[in-house]
Each structure stands twice: as structure tokens, then as C-alpha cells.
Amino acid sequence: MKAVIIGGGGRVGSNAAFALQCAGIVSEIQILDANQELAEGEALDLMHGASVVGGARIYAGDYERAKDADLFIITAGLRRKPDESRLDLINRNVSLFTQILGSIRQAGHKSSAIVFVVSNPVDILTQLATEVLDLPDAQILGLGTMLDTARFRSLIAEALGLCATQVNALILGEHGDSMVPIWSSATVNGMSMGRLPGFSPAFQKRIFERTRGSGAEVIRRKGGAGWAVGLTIAEVVHAIALDRRCLLPVSSLQKGAFGLRDVCLSVPTIVGAGGVRGHVEIELWPKELQGLQGSARALQATMKSVRKAGV
């Protein structure tokens, strides 16, 4: 599989490339960035490690060289400010994103290509991609709440003093202010989390508030996220490359699950070869379902403003 990382010279793009290289998931990685010298430098640095791990072919290139890609990973975007919501980024990032999509269309792409959106606000930009690109909806997906879910699980494990890989809990909805924690199905190694010592409404509130504020916290402390988001990108790519059919909280166009239509956001999604293979409508508590539907309404309102602006 050939993966092209658009915005690969930035923190998120370069960290994603490193995660893909270390995991040995893809055979070819092209780094594409508006700063060509930076792209070449990142590609060179990664290529120097190819004999140590992965063995992938890694190089920099333009859209013309990218047209045979199996997977486009779009990470390019302006960085979120510490006190700025992800949806506020729409005013600064939509124009850049539509230019990228235009460049992909102009250079050409394989009919089987998958477009994986990471740039924020990811749900809005994923929906824009479904409207602009001449690809089936199933071949366009966004990172969605994958990073939020990873943070959620890790923070739960830290607070309970347990192994993070045994924690199974989801964040669904918008990757942003209206994200929804799904406590109803949360488990640790198959055991209901509600049965564990220390689990309480106060615990739930504290963990979710920390999760929702984690993006701003990382920006404040180190300037922006990179490593964790790179790992979650690699998890999605792994599911696609090996047709693992993993159930993941990625963002994609909704067509009826949970009563949601014509909006991109995260619900439990089967991800495998070809991208989105289906949505799974798990049982939710009433307040969780209400939160998910409220998240959809918030995104639809934002999408209306985008259309009014003529995007």
C-alpha cells in the first residue's frame, strides 16, 4: 500500500509517518507539504531509519507523483490556539482544505483511493471531502474521535491504576466540544466498569472533563499533539491495509444509524479494505443517544454556515 501524507512536514504528519514506518503497515510513504524543503528533510530523516525498522520506501513528492496513491492522509492545517474550539478553526482551515482537495482532483487519483482526513475541524472537513471528491462515500473517512477515545481510555486506566490496553470505552459524536462519553458499554477486560472500586459519577465527570480538555492542555504544555494522534492514525491505516474490519470511532457520512443522516461524525464503524464497511448501532443510554443527536445538530448548523459562505 502506498500512503501519501499531505502536510507531512508538520508535527502531526511527521509523527504519523513515523508511526506507520515503525508498525510496518505500508510499503511506501510519500511526504507532501507546502514547504518542499521541509518535506524532503522529513522524508530523508525517515528514510535513514528504513534499514532499522519497516523497510518502507519513503520520499518527498508533489501531487503528480501522488496520483497512484492507495491512501491519502490529510494532516495539513493551521494549528488550534489554546482557548479555541476545533469548530472555530473552520473559518481558517476550510479554504486551505478545499485547495488541497482541488489539487488531488486536478492531478488525478485512483478510483479505489481512500481519503483519510485528520485536519481539524475533522467532521466538517470530512463532509466537505464527500461533497467535493468524485469518490464513493465509503472511501472517505475522518479520524473523528479516535484520539479522544484513546485519551479517554488512557486517563481511565491511569486513574484506576489499571492496564490501558484492557480498558474499552468510547467517545462518539463530534471531535470537539459536543463529544459524548459512552459509559454504558465501558469495560475493563470484559468486566463492567461500573463494578470497579472507585467508579462513581464524580469519577466519570472528572475523567470526561479531562478528556475533553486534553487537546488544549497538550497545546498549552508543548505546542500541539503529535505522538498519540500519530498512533491513532496508524491504527486506522492498519485496519484498512489488512482488512481487519475493526470497530472504530471514525468520522464518516451517516445514513441512518442512531437516526442520523447527512452529517459526518463518529459512531461505531467497521473499517477495513475499501474504507468504511458499515456502521454498528450499539445500545446507548437515553442521555447518550440524546448527546449524540445533539452533536449531529451542532455539526449540521456549522455545515450550513459553511455553505452560506459559498464553500
- Integer angstrom CA distances of residue 246 from 21, 136, 300: 21, 20, 27
Q: Are 87 and 177 contacting, i.e. CB atoms less than 8 angstroms apart?
A: yes
For residues 152 and 175, what is the distance between their CA atoms, to the nearest angstrom?
A: 13
Q: Are 130 and 151 contacting, i.e. CB atoms less than 8 angstroms apart?
A: no
Q: Are 102 and 6 contacting, i.e. CB atoms less than 8 angstroms apart?
A: no
For residues 291 and 298, what is the distance between their CA atoms, to the nearest angstrom?
A: 10
Residues pairing with 117 in the sheet: 74, 142
- Is 175 a known active-site residue? yes
According to DSSP, the β-strands at 114-117 and 71-74 are parallel
Q: Are 278 and 269 contacting, i.e. CB atoms less than 8 angstroms apart?
A: yes
- Residues with Cβ within 8 Å of 138's Cβ and at least 6 positions away in sequence, in order, are 252, 274, 275, 276, 277
Please work out, in degrees rounded to the nearest 5, the angle formed at the alpha carbon of residue 99 by the alpha carbons of 310 and 69: 135
Note the residue count of the chain.
311
User: CA 70 from chain center: how many Å?
Assistant: 18
> Which of the following is catalytic: 48, 109, 175, 238?
175
Residues pairing with 187 in the sheet: 168, 192
Which residues belong to the active site?
Answer: 175
